[in-house]
Structure 1
């Protein structure tokens, strides 16, 4: 049974918060894969490939589910399309470039800027005011995530050029994803469009913008993966697109539809915490500091949910 059919809880059952946690976990899994793929594919090419795969999966799901697109006014449709252009075409491309320049942990650190930006933008443009306790929950969550991903770990050290470039792209990604989330929330909160259709519209807008831009990097599209055989590389791309774009964006839109934008984006930013058990399984040591950061972030999420 598909997601829209079996998530039928009332608003007090925290549908939005649970969807955000699910998306955060799936993004953690896909980030590990994208970090590896980024060595072989330009960010725009990688963003385009995962977008096209996810669109095909969403269209198949809509066909099987029989979900029809409701009538939307021009404003709501425009907000969703603009959200995809800003949040997916611009934000995801900048995020992949940040990973290439800074590595996964530092790139995820830059992403912790998104929740307060979302909360501020939602306050200014959507009049979604949060209580002092909710702001404390946001701050506590961000501190917990930052505490985890700023820990010094073995790995490459970014050159000064890559460091400055990565910080610039990281800031761009955070602003773009925050703007995309608020635009999407504005469209979803006051319409009956399903998160499934919202995800498809956003992805389609992003891919349509990326298509002409990839012509500038056409020569890079023929590059073979350096570390993976071609078929294995495509398997990795399809897997990352399935969990990190198709499923995760569907859950993200569910979160933005059923809870405040600031709360949703804060929980979505906890994906670094889910990376810890993944890297532990892969053989990396997880320190006490990392565990403490997880506990702090979980406390922030508990405060956010408890004050809803």
Structure 2
């Protein structure tokens, strides 16, 4: 089937949809729970779910080189531990619209880093597709919204840019490890999450983090919401991300993963909010870019 040739792209789009839904949840949770703690909770829950899945499957880590494990651990430490924490901090400072705008920096960064460090070449049509998709997304989420009163803070911009850089670098390292090994996507997800969680725990011991009021006694409702969000965004989302990085070039995978803002539009429309012509046009431009990457 033709679709089997695009497993990576389809996995990335699926992950983007899940991240869209979970971002709505995390934006509300972030008002009550510190980003560092939120990242820790979702990591621990996802690790537990993956371990259970691997036990049910009877999977075992076999024939894994030390270099593969080290690369995936570093990838998780950078992309998940640092990247996701920076993303949550940016989300709290800038709001979803501007944070997602900064996230569109990740695909070109990932493509350039992959070209420089692992020699991954993309066809001209793919580069045009990346540019079109990013322009479309940026056009949609940079539209001024009268309801959005969040001021742009320098600190928020720094967190957003750091998140994009960390996620791009983490993706490139993960892509290299996956292409050099027969490790399954689920096993690689577990190693990355462990690396990310270790970093988050380490960050909690920094003097700056100690000033944050951590809430260890959460209600069952809050824990339940975090568990559901972690299942969708981290357990399934990062698993799908690993599949996309295994079967698609870094630049293309990162571009599809950055399409989350496009999925917000129909959700917002269902909630009764009016969709502007500019937003619709931006979606069309992005879809044209995605189509180019399938050529």
Q: Give the TM bin, normalised by the shorter chain.
A: over 0.9
Q: What is the CA distance between 1:19 and its match in structure 2? A: 0.3
Q: What is the CA distance between 1:157 and its match in structure 2? A: 2.6
Classify the secondary structure of the residue corresponding to 1:221. Answer: coil
2:137 paired with 1:145: yes
Give the aligned partner of residue 49 of structure 1.
41
2:183 paired with 1:193: yes
Q: Within 2, Cα distance between the matches of 1:17 and 1:75? A: 27
> What is the TM-score of this pair, normalised by structure 2?
0.94
Query: In structure 2, do the counterparts of structure 1 residues 70 and 244 end up closer, same or farther at CA, with 3 Å as the change threshold?
Result: same
Classify the secondary structure of the residue corresponding to 2:33. Answer: coil
From 268, 291, 294, the counterpart of 1:302: 291
From 214, 222, 244, the counterpart of 2:204: 214
C-alpha distance after superposition, 1:179-206 (max 9, x if no partner): 0000000000121100000100000111
Q: Within 2, Cα distance between the matches of 1:246 and 1:293? A: 30
5+ residue gaps, structure 1, are 1-8
Classify the secondary structure of the residue corresponding to 1:220. Answer: coil
5+ residue gaps, structure 2, are none
Give the aligned partner of residue 264 of structure 1.
253
Contact 1:24 1:267 in 2 (8 A): yes
2:164 paired with 1:174: yes
2:244 paired with 1:255: yes
Q: Within 2, Cα distance between the matches of 1:49 and 1:247? A: 16
2:8 paired with 1:19: no
C-alpha distance after superposition, 1:250-289 (max 9, x if no partner): 0000000001011000000001111111222223222121
Q: What is the CA distance between 1:222 and its match in structure 2? A: 2.5
2:49 paired with 1:60: no
